[in-house]
Amino acid sequence: MQEQLSSLLAKASAELQSIRSRPELEAAKARYVGPNGELTALMKQMGSVAKELRPAMGKLVNESKARLQALLDSRLRAIEESELEARLGPPIDPTLPAPDEGPGTFHPLTLVREEVCRILRKVGFVVADGPEVETEFYCFDALNTPPDHPARDPQDTFYFPPGARFGNVSRHRPDERYLLRTHTSSVQVRTMLKGPPPIRIVSPGRVYRRDTSDASHSANFHQVECLYVDRNVTVRDLKALLDYLFAALMGPGTKTRFRPHYFGYTEPSFEVDLSARHLPKVNKEWIEIGGCGIVDPEVFRAVGYDPEVWTGYAFGMGLERLAMTLYGIDDIRVFYQNDLRLLRQFTGTI
């Protein structure tokens, strides 16, 4: 029996060497250790071995079984490795330069944002930045928006849980909530608190509202804010800026019109419409594009400016709306889907 075992092992070891695939390995396994396998058959002969030889024989059989199992295991590992190699393909040289994908393109929102900033820089505006996580002070209180204003409702604004703390504000009342800014108007407050007038800023950025997403709404979208503070600023200056901005953006025929509206931070306040007749993809006479007005004295008081000395105008608009109008896009959601078929159409440079 001892001889049978060692010749079985020798045979198995030679045979397993040439096995390259899982089915072959499974078949070999069945031949040796399956219910009708050769080793199984030898083990069954244990019953006929003389009693005094049985312990030694038993040990031998177990050792043979373990060696056979080790051979099978190592074969399996070799097969697994070669399968992995086949999947990975030929070895690569990571030091070689990446294959050239060609230049990328800018996202339509980036193109419009940069164009708006470029046009406003020409007339002295500088780009200002502000955080997306704000407190109630910067987003509402300092902008003369009282606690019971509907915009502050948790149904409209994303608030952080009461315990949340962020390090981006120097002033924070213990009971004051953090939130995701609902508009870029908060940057007006941050800028004015940094220093005295005159101020002329443009501030693009992300804003958040509790909106259900559809063709014209998204819980996260983008705005551009403008603030100008100086002496003797009038509605006429505001109108002139907007006429200049939209003519530069959309062509010389573009007109703007103001409709009276209410915003807590401006008085008087207006909604701004754009004449859209000359835009091929828009078949309305006017489209609403943003809100604006003359900075309310309460806002100046909140930031420590003397409202008897300083005047200003402010303006805010949605970037998606503008990009949709400019490019004839009818669904806001395409901006966030990163579909290359859309993005490849925007080959413009900034």
Site residues, ligand DAH (CB under 6 A): 183, 185, 225, 263, 265-266, 269, 291-293, 314-316
Shortest distance, position 188 Cβ to ligand DAH, whole Å? 7
Residue reference for tokens 């399956």: 34
Between 57 and 187, name the residue whose CB sits nearer to ligand DAH.
187
Pairing of the two strands 266-275 and 286-295: antiparallel
Q: Could you give the CA distance from residue 118 to residue 226 in angstroms, rounded to a whole number?
A: 13
Q: Residue 266 or residue 275: which is nearer to ligand DAH going by CB? A: 266
User: In the complex with ligand DAH, which residue's Cβ is closer, 114 or 267?
Assistant: 267
Handedness of CA 182, 185, 189, 194 (dihedral sign): positive
The half-sphere exposure of 292 on its side-chain side, counting CA atoms within 13 A, is 29
Measured distance CA(32)–CA(226) in Å, rounded: 82
Which of residues 42 and 224 has its CB atom nearest to ligand DAH in the complex?
224
The nearest distance, CB 138 to ligand DAH, in angstroms, is 13
Q: How far is the CB of 144 from ligand DAH (least distance, A)?
A: 11
User: Tokens 């896009």 belong to which residue?
Assistant: 329
Nearer to ligand DAH, 78 or 119 (CB): 119
Nearest distance from residue 266's CB to ligand DAH, in Å?
A: 4
Complete edge-to-edge strand list for the sheet that includes strand 311-318: 126-127, 199-208, 220-230, 311-318, 286-295, 266-275, 256-263
**Nearest CB to ligand DAH, comparing residues 61 and 226:** 226
- 136: tokens are 């109630």
Residue 209 CB, nearest distance to ligand DAH (Å)? 9
Nearest distance, CB of residue 316 and ligand DAH, angstroms: 3
Q: What tokens appear for 47 in the block?
A: 């019953």
The residue written with tokens 């031949």 in the block is 31
CB nearer to ligand DAH: give 32 or 140. 140
Lookup: tokens for 110: 């980036």
Q: Pick the closer one to ligand DAH by CB: 108 or 316.
A: 316
- Comparing CA positions, the residue from 249, 214, 223, 205 lying closest to residue 330 is 214
CB of 303 to ligand DAH, least distance (A): 14
CB of 151 to ligand DAH, least distance (A): 8
Nearest approach in angstroms of CB 281 to ligand DAH is 24
Classify residue 285 by burial, with Cβ atoms within 10 Å: 0-12, 13-18, 19+: exposed
Please give the sequence-ordered ranges of beta strands (E in DSSP) within the chain, or none if there are none: 126-127, 133-135, 178-180, 199-208, 220-230, 256-263, 266-275, 286-295, 311-318
Which lies closer to ligand DAH via its Cβ, residue 276 or residue 299?
Answer: 299
Rounded to 10°, the helix 2-17/54-88 angle is: 0
